Amino acid sequence: MNGFAEGRVTARRDWAPGLITLTVDAPVEPFVAGQFVSLGLELDRQLVRRSYSIASPPGAALEFYLKEVPEGALTPRLTRLSVGEKVWVERKPQGFFTLAYVPPARDIWFIATGTGLGPFIAMLRGTEVWQRFEHVNVVHGVRHAQHLSYGDELASLAAAHPGALSYTSLVSGGPNGSALSGRVTTAVANGTLEQSVGQLLDAERSHLMLCGNPDMILELTMVLTLRGLRKHRMRTPGHISAEKYW
């Protein structure tokens, strides 16, 4: 397979039916937290592939946070892989959704829906984010509470970095337990999120990285634009970086 290396599943963690983290051993080129590679399987003698963010930091075993799309051609097979099974992994990581492209700011907000949390887990497991920012605010929105993942690890990170990490979860459908109820965009628009975190989203001190549902990214960008924040571009530095993840 040109451009792909043969990998093997070395571990899997099931968070909920159809929602897993796969650990894969494969020889890929060096990467930066936030980048992605394509995973592929041979189906009907053809390589079916799709891009996924790496949820682990450089130097660690490759992890991928995956959700089954029942009608999809690939994810139903990927989410059923067992330890020892083969998966093709793109050798060359890609992408610019990394901290290297984030301008100076006091506070960084990692706002994710669903498996869009993956690249942020990779960043949180590294050192750069803790060296560069005074506050790291992680926001994870899901439809059902059982889809909230990595909670124990985020709690451990908060304990390891007292006063530096805030974790807020939101559930938009059904019982929400200790999470906020509703959608991420609504919580930003009505001020609920900032009230819960105890910090303001503003152009003077904040940079936001958005990852997940394209509709969330579009709606939230519109809400933030009305508050004076703008998309970040290299030639015109701003406050919002985004990666669609669907």
pLDDT one-digit tens code per residue, 178-233: 899 999 999 999 999 999 999 999 899 999 999 999 999 999 999 999 999 999 99
- With bands split at pLDDT 50, 70 and 90, how would you rate the model's confidence at 174? confident
Mean pLDDT confidence for 1-30: 96
Using the predicted structure, report yes or no on whether residue 44 has a pLDDT greater than 90: no
Take residue 171 and report the two structure tokens written for it.
């559930």
Mean pLDDT confidence for 29-41: 97
pLDDT the model gives residue 234: 81
Mean pLDDT confidence for 124-151: 96
Question: Which residue type does 105 have?
Answer: A
Using the predicted structure, report yes or no on whether residue 246 has a pLDDT greater than 80: no
Choose among 149, 77, 78, 146: nearest CA to 116. Answer: 149
Query: In this structure, which CATH number among 3.40.50.2000, 2.40.30.10, 2.70.40.10, 3.10.520.10 belongs to the domain 4-90?
Result: 2.40.30.10
Per-residue exposure over 4-13, b if at least 16 CB sit within 10 Å of its own CB, e if not: bbebebeebe
pLDDT the model gives residue 117: 97
Gap between the Cα atoms of 29 and 64, Å rounded: 16
Question: 24 φ, ψ to 5°?
Answer: -130, 135
The ranges assigned to domains in the chain are 4-90, 99-244
DSSP codes of every residue in 168-228: EEEE-SS--TTSEES-HHHHHHTSHHHHHHT----TTTEEEEEEE-HHHHHHHHHHHHTTT
Question: Which residue type does 224 have?
Answer: L
pTM of the model: 0.95
pLDDT one-digit tens code per residue, 109-129: 999 999 999 999 999 999 999
Choose among 41, 42, 79, 87: nearest CA to 62. Answer: 87
pLDDT the model gives residue 2: 85
CB of 206 within 8 A of CB of 107? yes
pLDDT the model gives residue 4: 96
Give the domain 99-244 fold.
Answer: Rossmann fold (3.40.50)
